[in-house]
Structure 1
């Protein structure tokens, strides 16, 4: 830790160094703000700079730590540690624009639960990260804040919708980034930027925006999760622990324990078979199979297995989310968004079966059957290793290439990602290596509220593959 610049330290090490008076929070926050000034202009990952308030908070954190040592009190697990927040959840006094020009003055009257939990843990917010309009694209660009670039290669996407979060963490801006995921928006940027994340079980992390004027549709609430992105799996685990604290404003919050006894070993892992209709890239698939080998080397019992009803599960996700959008949100979206957003939006609509009232109710009922099938499968194989994407990371704004390109990206390439949202299952992503100079990650899915097992497996892979972004930093 001491041989590397402060901005390269893990969140776990940074928090420990501050608690042990090896470094002050002011020094840490200043190092990350300096890194932001150096790296962000080329990336446009952080679109609201909160450096001035962050330095004030860092000074207060150092004073609070000194007072706690005199009085014997404790400080939070992220005391004095710099983090970022995606610009689609509320930070009191800041605009929750969600990438939409019309919402540029949507000032949050209070903190969202994630923001509040991070602050209670002592974290210091140094900036807000970019997202596409309405956070409804897998590519991070919008007319309000512009395009976010991938730090590995400016010509390929940083992913979305938490693309600003992913790019900032890979570049060394902040130790943990907040993001959220309704169709892959944590896991896809983690893959693209060579970092780790977890999409928690639905209900694990509380969610609510005080600035919201209406509640989200039912299935959108059930399919969306808040979560952390970080360079180290241990930091993802710490971020999950902090974000998952109870907040009464979320009626779906579940106070489930973060760790539970593990199954008797060796833990069986299903390596998901790739559907025959998916076009794949050999180098990407080879690295994902290498992740399965890493797990086998770590003592897991890995078998290649076909997972339950992947195609039907993905279609159910698409049908439900796009039906809700069409009925409740489409008019506002089309009235306030750019031509680029609307082009992608039409591609999504074309992929979905538009459900009537009876069809929507039947689809919700069908969701329970699919969850039951997967829960039963996970009794036999407590973990499933599957692709994030089966193809190379695409070019910037690849989803603007028309309806067929949208279908190729989201039905072919990312089918394994979005399917997990309708099931509400936890899914971690950890980088495995580079293919033609670009990061490749693998997804690890577990049963409900078994984020601990997903992260254990991710750490086993990380021990073999290493911290991938160190290779990015060596290029500079």
Structure 2
């Protein structure tokens, strides 16, 4: 049987079903080490994760497009032609969200009308993962237009949270979070416009990094027109995993340059990172002053305590202009939705998603030209104030949401609760408006789902976010293995 002790993999011959069960428990880092040492073949790892998909699907409706034949063919070819120098993700089983182009498959984005046209080439993030050696074992579900904190759509139905099927697995990368939480791949691609990496990771006790704006190239070759300007400046690509070490493993692979994205940014950091700088971490439980759930507060307290144990100096701070930042995010996004997306939503979206959009347009009224330009100018003021805060602290620990994970499809089934939902999620909107990196890390084994926090950094200080979040994770030493939804 395979066992893992301190990251070392011990292989025995005559692999049995229990061996395959052990493989899916390995982290991405552990799997990479086992593959590098030759203790296990790529085909064995791939087969174990595909078997896990077969065990869990279609029940969870997370991996909605399994790629067994292509994945096994790739794995066997990799074993037969093993390179001398292995790329960082060589042989690692991953999933891709169904809202980016994937050659030979559709990019429906949760919309039946778009589930027909076949993509002719990969999006840059897919190319980077493939170039890094990853084996794509399937594609994951997303809500219509990827505009919700809940994952269900008319094509594949509701994605279930493997911890508690009555709660959301998050959105819009809810298929990704559900998949990786129960071992269907060691990491899962996702993206984030208003929290769509951080909230799904939070909803399954997972780990992620919302990279700085421009850090990871983004583009869909099949798109009939360019992404609207505000999506260009607020939406990013990344991965969800079960540990911060696994997220870090993917980081250099994801951020490789692509000429498809002229907005890609190669800056190594914010320019303020110095080895001799104080290891000072800010923290804030309630930047909006509206109160948070008691378990959410405990998750922040656990993170602060762990950061202190790891050698950081915790400093309580009040993030500047937080409420205005969240409101500005909504005004800018909804102005763009009305001008550039609303016609398509009305035409192709379900009645439920159109009702949600109506509520959102009331909460964040679209602006006229003067209002749009004023909001854009105000964004720069807020960015400057947050940059000044990061002159004093290396990173900021704060909640992902003011509430534990919400009920599945709560926005559709209880439309009167949408204002409260958006109020709870403001913690994430600030990072999107300002283009900041933010890691999500588990810090509290609450019931029924573990909770975590965000570690937010200055623009381009992604590595600092990873460093702080990984130090917190290391000090807390929680069980981050996959769960069995059966």
Could you say whether these structures have the same fold, taking a TM-score greater than 0.5 normalized by the shorter chain as the test?
yes
1:414 paired with 2:431, answer: no
**Distance in structure 1 (CA, Å) of the matches to 2:398 and 2:263:** 28
**Distance in structure 2 (CA, Å) of the matches to 1:265 and 1:357:** 43
1:7 paired with 2:24, answer: yes
Give the counterpart of 1:319 among 315, 331, 337. 331
Give the structure 1 partner of residue 412 of structure 2.
400
Q: Secondary structure at the match of 2:224?
A: coil
Superposed counterparts of 1:66-215, under 5 Å: 68=83, 73-215=84-226
CA apart distance, 1:404: 4.0
Q: 1:385 to 1:58 in 2, by over 3 A?
A: same
CA apart distance, 1:184: 0.1
Encode CA deviations 1:73-107: one digit per residue, 9 max, x unaligned.
Answer: 42311111111000000110110000000001121
Comparing both structures, which one devotes a greater share of its residues to helix?
A: 1
TM-score by length of 2: 0.93
Give the structure 2 partner of residue 41 of structure 1.
58
Superposed counterparts of 1:370-389, under 5 Å: 370-389=382-401
Give the counterpart of 1:248 among 235, 259, 264. 259
Encode CA deviations 1:364-413: one digit per residue, 9 max, x unaligned.
Answer: 121111111111111111200010011121111111255541110112x1
CA apart distance, 1:212: 0.4
Encode CA deviations 1:121-173: one digit per residue, 9 max, x unaligned.
Answer: 11110000010001001100000111100010000000000000001000101
Q: 1:309 to 1:281 in 2, by over 3 A?
A: same
Give the structure 2 partner of residue 31 of structure 1.
48
Give the counterpart of 1:452 among 455, 459, 463. 463
Superposed counterparts of 1:283-432, under 5 Å: 283-401=295-413, 404-411=416-423, 413-432=424-443
CA apart distance, 1:468: 4.1
CA apart distance, 1:16: 2.3
Give the structure 1 partner of residue 81 of structure 2.
64
Give the counterpart of 2:246 among 213, 223, 235. 235
Moved more, 25-34 or 433-442: 433-442
Q: Secondary structure at the match of 1:226?
A: strand
Q: 1:83 to 1:356 in 2, by over 3 A?
A: same
CA apart distance, 1:472: 3.5
Q: 1:266 to 1:277 in 2, by over 3 A?
A: closer
Q: Secondary structure at the match of 1:428?
A: strand
CA apart distance, 1:39: 1.9
Q: Secondary structure at the match of 2:196?
A: coil
**Distance in structure 2 (CA, Å) of the matches to 1:106 and 1:239:** 30
Q: 1:46 touches 1:130 (CA, 8 Å); kept in 2? A: yes
1:280 paired with 2:292, answer: yes
Give the structure 1 partner of residue 38 of structure 2.
21
Encode CA deviations 1:428-474: one digit per residue, 9 max, x unaligned.
Answer: 0001122222121100001111111111111111113334443845x
**Distance in structure 2 (CA, Å) of the matches to 1:85 and 1:393:** 23
Q: Secondary structure at the match of 2:367?
A: coil
Q: Secondary structure at the match of 1:302?
A: strand
Q: 1:15 touches 1:78 (CA, 8 Å); kept in 2? A: yes
Runs of 5+ consecutive residues of structure 1 not aligned to the other structure:
none
CA apart distance, 1:276: 6.0
Runs of 5+ consecutive residues of structure 2 not aligned to the other structure:
11-20
Encode CA deviations 1:8-34: one digit per residue, 9 max, x unaligned.
Answer: 111122122222211110000000001
CA apart distance, 1:42: 2.5
Give the counterpart of 1:438 among 434, 438, 449. 449
**Distance in structure 2 (CA, Å) of the matches to 1:98 and 1:34:** 26
Encode CA deviations 1:226-257: one digit per residue, 9 max, x unaligned.
Answer: 00111111110111211110000101001123
Q: Secondary structure at the match of 1:435?
A: coil
